[in-house]
Structure 1
């Protein structure tokens, strides 16, 4: 029989990892991918500084969303077309954000995957390094938020993480678990801290 009910807690804190402009105050909350796509495309259009006029930029976008053969374009289409990839996503253990290589995760503080999925095909087609421009105007960011999602499993993950830290063991994927919003944005009132690194 589980003793989980003894703990009497009703919230879980999560850490969303990203890279965004330093003036982003997440006024609209933590947006799902579909809710944020227009903002991302608008930002990237600005960063390419007139290299392409708006009509050609729109042609590039349409191609990326439909028939561009790039591997990254395929990843973009997969993520943009299915809410299962819409997030927003977050980590249970904040420190894991700084051990992406050790545990085999994407470095979300380095650059969001969806930005790579746009910038790499753009560079392949036009020879313009949009990714470097993005990195220059953005900062790594951790957004702490709360949910009423409470599971005994989360306690096990925290204990496993603490065990690894205490014994100076290498961290692995079992030292963390992730939150998935399944395409539903997190409201601003659930955000507890916005930390730019």
Structure 2
């Protein structure tokens, strides 16, 4: 069983399959719920409990589609090398940006220096991804848009050029294209409960992007490469 939150249609169909129900039944169960008035549980926990009380717990082992936003001029490399952790790609990226920065003067301090210091941990190795494709594409709320510019690009540009980092970022953006790379990864009750929260919001009339932002969670591979065999597709995002 694979949970797929590419959009609301795939979320409805895969959640229903996992729970062995149909959209009409699940909608009727979700709509009366008010998960924000029950402080004993988090909203997703309350929704999951109520749905399982009605339908029974899913006994299926599940995985999920995860969505990795990026910007690159060589998407083919993802199909041969997979999605690499930061330490495996950093030196290569630095060399490319040094070459690309030719003619841009360094000015002032690196505004990302404190942020970079805080990232020097194994937990920041990634690769990272999100549960909802809408979040990867639209980066609502406080989410960073990795399809606009990966954080590593900003960090390296700031180290090289200080306040003029944005000039290098613009050069990088001009020679690259935005993609969402979808792969299959681990999931369980937590991800299923978040998908139900998303569907509850949809049934309540909330816009899909807002619902996805509310229920989103992240995948962290903790320094382990996402094998190319786990990659389902790499989609060019040309409408944002």
Give the TM-score category using the shorter length.
Answer: 0.7 to 0.9
What is the TM-score with the length of structure 1 in the denominator?
0.78
Distance 1:191 1:99, change over 3 A: same
| Structure of larger gyration radius | 2
SS at match of 2:222: coil
- Structure 1 residues 1-197: aligned runs within 5 Å: 3-6=56-59, 8-26=60-78, 27-48=80-101, 50-51=102-103, 70-79=110-119, 81-101=120-140, 103-124=141-162, 129-147=167-185, 149-169=186-206, 171=210, 173-197=213-237
Deviation sequence 1:37-82 (CA, Å, 0-9, x none): 012112212312x438xxxxxxx9xxxxxxx963413323433x31
Deviation sequence 1:110-153 (CA, Å, 0-9, x none): 11111111223433366881111000011111111112x23111
SS at match of 1:130: helix
Higher RCO by CA contacts (8 Å cutoff, separation 6 or greater)? 1
In the aligned structure 1, how far is the partner of 2:180 from the partner of 2:234? 6
What is the TM-score with the length of structure 2 in the denominator?
0.65
Cα RMSD between the aligned structures? 2.6
Pairs aligned (count): 178
Shift of 1:187: 1.0
Deviation sequence 1:88-120 (CA, Å, 0-9, x none): 00011111223323x321111111111111223
Unmatched 5+ stretches in structure 1: 53-59, 61-67
